[in-house]
Amino acid sequence: MSRDTKKEIFAVLVVGTLFAMTSFWNTPLDFLPWKPFSVFLLFGVVPLLGGALYLRRLRRQQPGREAPYPLLTWAVIYWIILLFLLAFIQGIMRGVGYITGR
């Protein structure tokens, strides 16, 4: 594992931890059980694994060629997608709660 990859993995985990820490104070992710750990998994580990698997697939398809974007870039893309999905789910849950009166 190269030094740059280790730095990227560390950065992803740090940002995931920061998301987990901020979930104590104000979060739109009220529906998640055990918030800090869930948020850390969603924003730290899942994007890292997704980005790593995608880069591995790219390297298999084109051996000897470097992937077009570094791992951290793919992690940020996955974070954005997850944020939109979670906001959408939260909106649906609030709408259902409003309609049913809960």
Domain ranges of the chain: 3-100
Measure the CA–CA gap between 2 and 22, rounded to whole angstroms: 31
Q: Which helix (H) or strand (E) holds 64?
A: none
pLDDT in tens, 12-59: 666 666 665 555 545 555 555 556 666 666 666 777 777 777 777 777
pTM over 0.85: no
- The residues, any chain, with a CB within 8 Å of residue 89's CB and separated by 6 or more, are 31
User: Which two three-digit tokens encode residue 12?
Assistant: 């992803």
pLDDT in tens, 64-80: 766 566 766 776 777 77
Q: Residue type at 73?
A: T
pLDDT at 88: 74
User: Which two three-digit tokens encode residue 97?
Assistant: 């709660």
